[in-house]
Chain A
Amino acid sequence: MTTDTLPVLTKKDFQTDQEVRWCPGCGDYAILAAVQAIFPELGIPREKFVVVSGIGCSSRFPYYMNTYGFHSIHGRAPAVATGIKIANPDLDVWVATGDGDALAIGGNHTIHMLRRNVGVKVMLFNNRIYGLTKGQYSPTSEFHKKTKSTPFGSPDRPFNPISLAIGAESTFVARSVDVFQQHLKETLRHAAAHKGSAFIEILQNCNIFNDGAWTTLTEKDARSEKIIQLEHGKPLVFGKNRDKGIRRLPDGDIEVVTLGGDITEKDLIVHNAHHPRPSYAFLLSHMEHRPGFPTPIGVLRAWDDLPRYEDVMNEQVQEVIAKKGPGDLASLLRSGDTWEVK
């Protein structure tokens, strides 16, 4: 593709005339702004973008993107997107989904799309609640969370979305936060550059039904202590004074250490997002559940050496045509044993 023939696109080109109908203060506005900001940078003609969604607040996303868009049914966006991508691998297909849409009703499609490595980018807006149905707990809600449907606390153990995606061996897994606009844009750019399946969990606030969903992470004081920003090739350091890090244990596990004395940055793990195997990324993906460990954001895994599903499928067609020649319908109808009645 030659980019010099492309018209220069701006954020405005990706805005529609439809009134955005998310609640004022919803984290979705920030995500929409970030996506509209990075799409013009990608050097892709606008008509090649397709945004697909399921059902939920986040799934209204396509109506606000002036691209091709498909607001499908609950949970099925990955399957719709897979069909679009197989039929036309040239399209740049993005899925906007939520924690209920992608992990409850559509969990099956999510994991299968990821394990197939369909070249679709999935943005999972995780607000840990059902917003559109007005406040029931979701598959990412905390254990014991009190909601409309769990007045005595939720008995469910939550999914960790990035662990699930890495478990399905998604070739790209990242996490960002609605209010970290620059980080979010940077993460989306990384995802956009990835050819295979890209899974981005976006921690997002629902100021109506689950206000403060992520404040323990996003509050100014908490940010540097509770969050570790992963950067490929950089040591795993965090803390307000950048005085904490993550080190390998001899048994393969990890521990949090304080820098100083004998321990220097050289002792820490240097983040390698490009490792072909998912085990290291998986270890990082659920460390936040352990006392003293930070929550990772950024790109956990970006291994792009696996062929895309839609390419494998279409190449198979091309290979057979190269070998057998293009199919001849008259001969196909006459295939097998035939006889003539005179």
Chain B
Amino acid sequence: MSTIAETPISKAKREVIEQAVIRFAGDSGDGMQITGSQFTNTVALYGNDIATFPDYPAEIRAPAGTLPGVSGYQLHFSSSDVYTPGDAVDVLIAMNPAALKMNLADLRPNGILIVNQDSFKENDLRKAQMTSNPLEDHSLDKFRVFSVEAQRLTRNALQHLGIDSKSMDRCKNFFALGMCYWLYNRSMDPTFRWIGDKFSKKPLIAEANKLALKAGYSYCEATEAFQVSYEIPPAKLEKGHYRSLSGNQAVALGFVTAAQKAGLTLFLGSYPITPASDILHELSQYKDFGVLTFQAEDEIAAITSSIGASYAGALAITTTSGPGMALKTEALGLAVMTELPLVIVDVQRGGPSTGLPTKTEQADLLQALFGRNSEAPIPVLAASTPSDCFWVVVEASRIALKYMVPVIVLTDGYLANGAEPWRIPSLDEIPAFPVTHEKNPEGFLPYKRDPQTLARPWAIPGTPGLEHRIGGIEKQDGSGNVNYEPLNHENMVRIRAAKVAGIVQDVPDAVPAGDQEGDLLIVAWGSTSGSITAALNGRRAKSLPGRIGHLHLRHLNPLPANLGEVLKRYKKILVPELNMGQLIWVLRAKYLVDAIGMNKIQGRPFMQNELEVKIEELIGK
């Protein structure tokens, strides 16, 4: 459904521009995530391409007004393709001094700064550790500052409703949102609808939020605060129906789809952990799809219950983040040993230990590849964009079921919470992979192998005549009986390795984007995809020299069969990662290439500019 503006659009002077980066920043109690996601939804519905970057503190509510309590939401929207949330911000909305202080460095010179003037009193400044008022000391002179009494104006607009001032103040984020809708000539209707749904049982609060939104919009209209408003036309995306999709939503939808395509019940065993919990929240809503979600007592029960459900015949999955992944380690070995299908999603975050729960990182790759006792190979896939999480999860499920193996999917906090437009596929675009459980007792052996895949049969309890025992002790090949013989063990270790290595037959050959040979190959994985694409497009736009390829690996184990050959076609190999160098370690070990690392460990994605600088350094301007 296309939503064209139904509310009157401002008649002020309008300038058509290609793209903008806007950041909403405020106290974590100010509703910045909702404000940002509402703006995102509205521009996406209008047809812009988008990339978002929600950045919030780990604390639920750090003391109000303090620096650690600042929550931000950045959106890049454009009439052309968008790959990153943007390096520099065009419009910054700062609801208090702390938000201003934490975010000002990213605002481009002459950028628009909207501040809530009512929260720049002495006490507010002190909480933000500011010694002078930036609204008065000329420190903001290089920006276009719009200092607005958002709190007072919101209260004025709502005072007739008879609600308390605390409830009125809670609406001031929508006052700011109304201003932004005016600034970018966007309809308020999608947000009106959202407010109506969200507060359907609290009509007074719904009314208050709608009025605050309108008040912000009308304020711009009436005061002509901004001399100009902006228009960003819809992007020319591929034909089709679209929705905005975050990585965590995509994971949830991917699993529901995979279960249907396999003809199995979906079972999720999970324990809440940031930033993966939203997958549990999403899947727990899909009871009408028969989805069983079990919130376990801990991370270990989350995976072991999934292993039990897999044994009983379900498409079983578990979702977590790094520390939870560490706790699941022993059970991963059990899944390897019992050769049961299972998909484990690790939404990576900054570490080690508790680390940076709400910030992104790519430092669990080696854990995913090797983090188990003994020889316990597991296939590993990684998603590169929020919507790619959907496709990766479907593929991981297919591999798990086809080969009877646990499969690890790596996403990260940036993908999990970031959103982008997703062209909704029709169901026939996704091939089915129907699964049949073993039924035939004749010649049945629990560890008899399919010659093509080396998979063992999936015989589930309740099937007459197939009673058998499995477990973590070494098995005799074929019978599955406990067996400690030296040669059998070596044989089984090699079979398990060969089975995972053999998945390469399902891994497409590596084909770099851009030049197929030349000066530089950028090899990467996961959420760095957008930044690298943007950097290479940036070079192309400037007609800079050099033949550059970009290979983004989806399959990290097994790696594409032709990868070694591809690496040889370039003079230099650059491996940018949000870790200390993990993929590069694998590439160097496996292919003996002298790859160059580029590493950032700040809990944030690469900037386009950082990559451009690095590329320049390697092959010149």
Give the interface of A toward B (CB within 8 A).
16, 18, 45-50, 52-53, 55, 62-63, 65-73, 76, 79-88, 90-91, 108-109, 112, 313-314, 316-317, 319-321, 324-327, 329-330, 332-342
Contacts and interface: CB of A to CB of B under 8 A. Distances in A.
Contact of B294 (A50, A63, A313, A317): A313
A338 B423 CA distance: 10
A35 to B, nearest CB: 15
B308 A47 contact: no
B287 A83 contact: no
A67 B256 CA distance: 32
B237 interface: yes
23 contacts: A47-B464, A63-B469, A68-B469, A71-B472, A73-B331, A73-B334, A76-B304, A79-B300, A82-B305, A83-B310, A86-B305, A112-B297, A112-B301, A333-B427, A334-B243, A334-B424, A337-B44, A337-B45, A337-B243, A339-B3, A339-B45, A339-B46, A341-B238
Contacts of A334: 241, 243, 424
B242 interface: yes
B314 A332 contact: no
Given A62-B471, A82-B308, A329 B256 contact: yes
Interface string B353-365: 0000000000000
Contact of A62 (B242, B292, B309, B469): B469
A330 B426 contact: yes
A63 B473 CA distance: 11
B467 A66 contact: yes
B580 interface: no
A47 B462 contact: yes
Given A333-B253, A337-B41, A316 B294 contact: no
A49 B460 CA distance: 11
Contacts of B260: 329
B265 interface: yes
Contact of A83 (B242, B257, B286, B306): B306
A150 to B, nearest CB: 26
| Most A-side CB within 10 Å, residue of B291, B300, B338, B469 | B469
Given A83-B269, A112-B296, A339-B1, 12 more contacts: A47-B465, A63-B471, A72-B304, A73-B330, A79-B296, A83-B310, A86-B292, A88-B460, A109-B297, A109-B301, A329-B260, A337-B190
Interface in B21-49: 41, 44-47
B309 A84 contact: yes
B376 interface: no
Interface in B262-315: 265, 267, 269, 286-292, 294, 296-298, 300-301, 304-314
A45 B461 CA distance: 11
Nearest to B265: A87
B482 interface: yes
Contacts of A330: 426-427
A181 B439 CA distance: 37
Contacts of B298: 108
Contacts of A65: 469
Nearest to A338: B243
Contacts of B310: 83
A336 B243 contact: yes
Nearest to A61: B469
A337 B308 contact: no
B304 A48 contact: no
B267 A317 contact: no
Nearest to B473: A71
Contacts of A84: 308-309, 311-312, 461
A16 to B, nearest CB: 8
Interface string B443-473: 0000000000000000011111111111111
Nearest to B245: A336
Nearest to B294: A86
B486 interface: no
Interface residues of B, number: 77
Given A69-B468, A338-B241, A321 B290 contact: yes
Contacts of B471: 53, 62-63, 69-72
A83 B463 contact: no
B2 interface: yes
Nearest to B42: A337
Nearest to B312: A87
B424 A327 contact: no
A261 B189 CA distance: 88
A42 B47 CA distance: 64
B313 A87 contact: yes
A83 B267 contact: yes
A63 B467 contact: no
Interface string B218-262: 000000000000000010111111111000000001001100100
Contacts of A339: 1-3, 44-47, 241-243
A25 B377 CA distance: 41
B424 A333 contact: yes
Given A71-B472, A72-B307, A83 B481 contact: no
Contacts of B461: 47-50, 68, 84, 88, 91
Contact of B305 (A73, A83, A88, A327): A83
Nearest to B234: A341
A69 B308 contact: no
Given A47-B467, A84-B308, A324 B288 contact: yes
B89 interface: no
B425 interface: yes
A83 B308 contact: yes
B424 A338 contact: yes
Contacts of B241: 334, 338-341
B489 to A, nearest CB: 17
Contacts of B239: 341-342
Nearest to B302: A79
Nearest to B291: A317
Interface string B555-588: 0000000000000000000000000000000000
Contacts of A319: 287
B472 A73 contact: yes
A140 to B, nearest CB: 22
Contacts of A71: 469-473
A52 B304 CA distance: 12
B316 interface: yes
Interface in B489-528: none
Quick one: which of B269, B305, B425 has the most chain A CB within 10 A?
Answer: B305
A338 B301 contact: no
Contacts of B242: 338-341
* Cβ-closest 9 pairs across A and B: A83-B308, A71-B471, A83-B305, A69-B469, A327-B289, A87-B312, A320-B287, A79-B301, A327-B288
Nearest to A90: B462
Contacts of B267: 83, 86-87
Residue among B47, B253, B307 with max Cβ neighbours from chain A (10 Å): B307
B482 A18 contact: yes
A228 B375 CA distance: 52
Contact of A68 (B190, B286, B314, B468): B468
Nearest to B3: A339
A254 to B, nearest CB: 33
Contacts of A49: 461
A332 B253 contact: yes
Q: Of residues A46, A62, A80, A314, which shows the largest number of chain B Cβ atoms within 10 Å of its Cβ?
A: A80
Nearest to A75: B300
Contacts of A85: 308
Contact of B470 (A69, A314, A317, A326): A69
Interface in B400-443: 423-427
A47 B467 CA distance: 6
B265 A79 contact: no
Most chain-B Cβ atoms within 10 A of its Cβ — which of A91, A329, A341?
A341
A52 B334 CA distance: 14
Contacts of A336: 243-244
Contacts of B240: 340-341
**Most B-side CB within 10 Å, residue of A86, A112, A316, A320:** A86
